[in-house]
Amino acid sequence: MNPSLSRRAFLKGGVATAATAVTAAALPGAAEAADPGGYLTTLFDLSLCVGCGECVTACKEAHEKNFPRPEKPFPAMVPSRVPVEDFSDEKDEEGRLTPYNWLTIQEAEVSVDGEEYTLYIPRRCMHCVNPPCVKLCPWGAAVQEKNGLSRINDALCLGGAKCRKACPWHIPQRQTGVGLYLDILPSLAGNGVMYKCDRCHDRLKDGELPACIDACPEGVQSIGPRDEMIEKAKALAAETNGYIYGLEENGGTNTLYVSPVPFETLNRAVEKGAGLPDLAPHGNSMAMAENMGAALLLAPLAGFAAAAGRIFFKLKKAAKQENAS
């Protein structure tokens, strides 16, 4: 049996689990992809999701060690209009994305051609093929790995929220009172750290499945190289007369959904708001292109800032180790 599959996944049985197992066997090679066709991609079959929340719980348990532990009282921000975002008293919140909840499930009750549907949509970072959060982070804290998955380095992030503004779904969430800015200029140089799904990059490097996939009792997700997942999504959509999301949105994403009803219909039905991404990507493409150009001009500064941040972080870590000895 593939070592990346837990006993729970092995006991699930069924066609969906078998497909996931085959795909999981290809993870080591896929995790070293060098081009978008091989980027590690997940496919959600929304017809299988029952909204049980096992994936949400597994995600929280897998990342609890990475969750922020803010220092209070927070430094006064200059200018004072800079908002404090504090979720430290809402750690158990699962109904929206927060720095303590990187995966949430949206519910949509719709009627199509006289047939009633209740669909559940697991939402997290879409891991774009060309992620604007990575391209526009001025400090190099947001990175895209060789396997195409994007993550935020919390040791370098200053919480400026450029990534959230650039994200077409406004996915990243900020926690004030943590991070590098507290050691630099706490009133001027930041406002915490941004958090989002990192696709369990540490588990993937060990050849294991992401926690949400491993915990799902219904086989909702499968994972593998993007080209393979696209073909699988197209086959599933053709078989079920369904619809695909993620092929074109924001230039393509490493998260694909297949739904038995149109996504425009789902988008009208889901609850929207802060921490609740809808299914209509936001953003002006022309403004984004201009921002991309500005980001290229800032690249040397960003590289310098990232390098300085890494040096500062290493010095701080060394000082802590020395004080502890």
User: Mean pLDDT for each consecutive 10-residue tract of the chain (325 residues)?
Assistant: 36 40 48 79 98 98 96 85 91 98 97 94 97 92 95 94 95 96 83 96 94 98 97 98 97 97 96 94 53 48 52 56 63
Calpha distance 56→292 (Å, rounded): 33
Calpha distance 147→31 (Å, rounded): 5
pLDDT, residue 139, reads 86
Calpha distance 323→325 (Å, rounded): 6
Report yes or no: 113 and 123 within 8 Å, Cβ to Cβ.
no
Phi, psi angles (nearest 5°) of residue 221? -105, 145
Domains recognised in the chain with CATH numbers: 7-324 (3.30.70.20)
pLDDT, residue 26, reads 53
Phi, psi angles (nearest 5°) of residue 99? -65, -10
Calpha distance 29→26 (Å, rounded): 6
- Give how far the C-alpha of residue 191 lies from the chain's centroid of Cα atoms, to the nearest Å: 21
Residues pairing with 244 in the sheet: 258
Enumerate the H helices of the chain as residue ranges.
Answer: 7-12, 14-25, 27-30, 54-63, 132-136, 162-166, 201-205, 211-215, 226-240, 263-269, 285-324
H or E segment to which residue 33 belongs? none
Calpha distance 77→301 (Å, rounded): 24
Phi-psi map region of 244: left, alpha, beta (phi>0 left; psi -120 to 50 alpha) = beta
Q: pTM (2 decimals)?
A: 0.82
Please identify which residue in the block is written with the tokens 């081009």. 35
11 is written with which tokens?
């006991």
Calpha distance 124→200 (Å, rounded): 12
Residues pairing with 222 in the sheet: 43
Query: What are the Cα distances from residue 260, in Å, to 75, 101, 110, 119, 152?
Result: 49, 27, 11, 9, 33
Question: C-alpha angle with apex 310: 307 to 315, nearest 5 degrees?
Answer: 130
Q: Which amino acid is at 208?
A: E
pLDDT, residue 77, reads 81
